[in-house]
Amino acid sequence: MQSAKEEISPTVPIEYSGKWIAWSADHMRIVSSSDSLHEARQKAFDLGENEPWMDKVPHRTIRFGGSAFRA
Amino acid sequence: MDGQSASQDNTIWWICFPRVKFEYKKTNVIPAPGFESGELYQTKIPIVLVGPTGNLRFEALVDTGSDQTIFPRTDVKEITGIVIDKNLKSEVKGRLEHHNESLYFAHNTKLQISKDQEIYEFPAPIWFSDEENSPAILGHSGFLEYFTITFDGENHELTLEPNKNFPGTSKKLAW
């Protein structure tokens, strides 16, 4: 049985540059945003989204480099 | 596909590990060399941090450049009940020497990936950071070591397939 073509999450608009955002449970809508992870999550809860997906949006001009770890 | 099954309520449990596919996450950025279209793609997947009292959901970056799996510490204890051991501390440095942050370890942590009706849950060593300048990171320890991953740059999608080191379970919901 083939499944229906899945919907792809929308592109994150540039206005959310560098912010934490909360996606809806189905990944199709940005419910809230903030500079702080806690605040973005709390806003989502307050708006009735109990299972938000928290996402750190890339900055509009600053790119993310690789990381190295030393234990 | 090899496996065995047993029925339980409306769930059929399979001991076999099919692949799951995720689209890269797309963000609009200021156009620049390498990003002339103003579109930035990142290899992020939805992942659940599973705790004794609750879960936290993240879009986490699958990062082959990271040795460890790192999550932000914010709200972890309050929502998941995961207790972070402040005595077990480590240090991470980025490409620049002056970037230095402390990480803290939590025991008995688990991660969960789900896509369509496929759910993977597995124990994973996770470090926690007070920094909020990066997304949750899925690195070699606790994540990449358990999967064979294909990064398809043309179609902007990645495919995960648990390997023989995968320490968790796969569940397929069927009704």
Domain spanning B8-172: CATH superfamily: Acid Proteases (2.40.70.10)
Q: What pLDDT shows up at residue B96?
A: 57
pLDDT of residue B68: 92
pLDDT at site B31: 95
Contacting residues of B for A58, CB less than 8 Å apart: 27, 29, 40, 42
For B23, the token pair is: 């689209």
Say how far apart CA A37 and CA A9 lie, in whole Å: 20
User: Which pLDDT belongs to residue B28?
Assistant: 96
How far is Cα B150 from Cα A71, in angstroms, rounded to an integer?
28
- Residue B28: list chain A partners with CB under 8 A: 11-14, 60
Token look-up 């358990």 returns B146
The whole-angstrom separation of Cα B67 and Cα A44 is: 32
Q: What is the pTM of this model?
A: 0.86
Between CA A10 and CA A53 the distance in angstroms is 14
Q: Which of B26, B59, B111 to mutate to test the interface with A (most CBs of A within 10 A)?
A: B59
pLDDT value, residue B102: 84
User: Each residue of B128-145: b (16+ CB within 10 Å) or e?
Assistant: bbeebebbbbbbbbbbbe
The per-residue pLDDT for range B88-141, each reduced to its tens digit, is 888 777 655 566 778 999 989 999 998 888 889 999 999 999 888 889 999 999
Smallest Cβ–Cβ distance between B95 and the set A3, A55, A65 belongs to A65
pLDDT of residue B165: 93
With CB atoms and an 8 Å threshold, state whether B135 touches A55: yes
Q: Mind listing the pLDDT tens digit for each residue in A51-65?
A: 999 999 998 887 776
Q: What are the extents of the domains in chain B?
A: 8-172
